[in-house]
A and B are shown apart, each in its own frame.
Chain A
């Protein structure tokens, strides 16, 4: 073996500059650190179906709540001369959108028959000549308002109930759980119907009945999760350091409960929308002349054989709302709890 290594001189070395020092640090984490929510959002963005549903929901929200700015007709204004007109969009000549309708075998222009002049209704009119498009937008707004209200009660009442029940434990927990068990053995719809009868049908009765029934599932799940978290070290540490129960629940419990809460919220919403539509459909929800998707479907169903568009459009909007919330809920569950899908 020949030692052919060069002799080392002092000139071969030079001090590390400040800029180079950063590159040398092998312990450095190169990717930015993500919080729990950022990480879930990153996973959710990869779920195409969920993202499409999110976009659809945002569009529906904007259309429904912004409808005051661009609706061409008053949703409640009746016009008996222009009743039961089929959809007509100017410039489009496809059967179903050109204002013609099948009458005893031949296609006739319903707008000419009704002497409608230049008026047009892009989704047609109902049996009282009210603009179906504006009514659907109004009904969607009611559904979305119900969704927001149900989420509010879910958060304000369900979460608090669950945390208190799980955190306090003992006798308080037992009593609170018995109350929930009793509520669970009454079908929700029956509770709603009874309340609505007592309170007189209308928006406020629906809100109260949703307030009473919607929070139960949330309370159960939050309680179960709280029981699990309660015995973990970080909670114990917080208690040992003398934190108050309030502060522990806000600073330590709530962030750890957030995925359970968000996922369950996404399943409360379609249920609430369904119940509102259901109650309006059977005739004890939103009362005439106001529109709700349920009443629109009920009205449209009577004429379904001859004027199918009157039921199809509200039914499609209601179904799309429900599907979008359900798929988004599934997507959120997968992104918050990635081990579920793989």
Chain B
């Protein structure tokens, strides 16, 4: 276990190192400098500003300085947003993203589990058909379309929830719903397949032969065993939530990192883009590591030996 953990953490660090290196050099290849109105500045002023941002040093020194900063959680200073430190910018925006992302994930997975298992238990009935249609619709309709529709009908027409901005719990409802659609659909699809498999296995036959009630069989045997593989799709679902949050946060003006990422992309705020890229990767790596460990703990048949097969 310790050996496995060590190996995994080593790979995470390696991945983050490669990602920061690639983003650093990509950004160095980009045309333009942080100085928007260079013509009006004297060479002395330009030199001074370059010195302030550390741009007067050769590229390899800038790279080392940058790497040292990343290790300490310092991603430099934002070009656009009133010279704030990128790490402060990200840190202050992390909360809302984690809240709506977490809520969306939990809601989506829970409802998806129910929809998926209903579909499997009542296979080939109208319930199954409805569950399939719901999951196909939610997996296909892009999050940005769904978010706008939710905002218009539940927010503007029915006035159940605030249409945008950030405040209490009520403000998180619509973004959460918009984000939950994709995990809901994926979980339901996956759960249905798993559950159908489990329901046709020998130990379910045995439980039936023992005379257990239908609810008991489904709750004690089928549900628990089909839940295990669901852990493996948590990683991909996290990616979906991250992708979705970029537009959903924009549409509902949630002050989160997704909104910040899009804003920085549109304004060429390179240090913030680099910082957020590394943060996204780190979050995904940690989620993947946790799900792998959980999978090993819950299902003892899978050994954490360090190699994949």
A274 to B15: give the CA distance in the assembly, Å.
Answer: 27
Q: Does A194 lie within 8 Å of B277, measured CB to CB?
A: yes
Q: Which of B26, B148, B250 lies in contact with A194, CB distance below 8 A?
A: B26
Q: Does B265 lie within 8 Å of A282, measured CB to CB?
A: yes
Say whether B161 faces chain A, with CB atoms less than 8 Å apart.
no
- Report the minimum CB–CB distance from A202 to chain B (whole Å): 15
A181 to B144: give the CA distance in the assembly, Å.
Answer: 29
- Knowing A182-B15, A270-B140, A297-B145 are in contact, say whether A284-B288 is a contact too (CB < 8 A): no
Say whether B137 faces chain A, with CB atoms less than 8 Å apart.
yes
* Chain A residues near B18 (CB-CB < 8 A): 182
Segment of B87-95, B107-115, B238-246 in the binding face: B238-246
- Report the minimum CB–CB distance from B50 to chain A (whole Å): 22
Closest to A314 in B: B145
Say whether A97 faces chain B, with CB atoms less than 8 Å apart.
no
- Knowing A197-B265, A198-B29, A282-B247 are in contact, say whether A340-B284 is a contact too (CB < 8 A): no
A318 to B276: give the CA distance in the assembly, Å.
Answer: 29
List B residues 150-168 near A (Cβ within 8 Å): 152, 156
- Knowing A186-B284, A311-B148, A323-B137 are in contact, say whether A277-B142 is a contact too (CB < 8 A): yes
Q: Does B277 lie within 8 Å of A198, measured CB to CB?
A: no
* Chain A residues near B148 (CB-CB < 8 A): 297, 301, 304, 311
Say whether B266 faces chain A, with CB atoms less than 8 Å apart.
yes
Q: What is the number of residues of chain B that contact chain A, defined by CB distance less than 8 Å? A: 43
Q: Does A197 lie within 8 Å of B246, measured CB to CB?
A: no
Q: Does B239 lie within 8 Å of A319, measured CB to CB?
A: no
A184 to B285: give the CA distance in the assembly, Å.
Answer: 9
- Knowing A182-B15, A185-B284, A187-B239 are in contact, say whether A284-B265 is a contact too (CB < 8 A): yes
A318 to B143: give the CA distance in the assembly, Å.
Answer: 12
Say whether A278 faces chain B, with CB atoms less than 8 Å apart.
yes
The main secondary structure of chain A at its interface with chain B is: helix
List A residues 235-289 near B (Cβ within 8 Å): 270, 274, 277-278, 281-284
Q: Which of B144, B152, B281 lies in contact with A278, CB distance below 8 A?
A: B144
Q: Does A322 lie within 8 Å of B19, measured CB to CB?
A: no
Q: Does B152 lie within 8 Å of A305, measured CB to CB?
A: yes
A330 to B139: give the CA distance in the assembly, Å.
Answer: 12
- Report the minimum CB–CB distance from A293 to chain B (whole Å): 9
Say whether B130 faces chain A, with CB atoms less than 8 Å apart.
no
- Report the minimum CB–CB distance from A187 to chain B (whole Å): 5
* Chain A residues near B308 (CB-CB < 8 A): 177
* Chain A residues near B247 (CB-CB < 8 A): 278, 281-282
B191-209 contact mask (Cβ, 8 Å, vs A): 1 or 0: 0010000000000000000
A299 to B277: give the CA distance in the assembly, Å.
Answer: 28
A interface residue numbers (CB < 8 A to B):
177-178, 181-182, 184-190, 193-195, 197-198, 227, 270, 274, 277-278, 281-284, 297, 301, 304-305, 311, 315, 318-319, 322-323, 326-327, 330, 340
12 contacts between A and B (CB under 8 A): A178-B11, A182-B14, A185-B281, A187-B242, A190-B280, A190-B281, A194-B277, A195-B26, A198-B29, A278-B144, A281-B144, A282-B266
Closest 3 CB pairs of A and B: A322-B140, A323-B140, A315-B145
B interface residue numbers (CB < 8 A to A):
11-12, 14-15, 18-19, 23, 26, 29-30, 136-137, 139-142, 144-145, 148, 152, 156, 193, 239, 242-243, 246-247, 250, 261-262, 265-266, 268, 273, 276-277, 280-281, 284-285, 288, 308-309
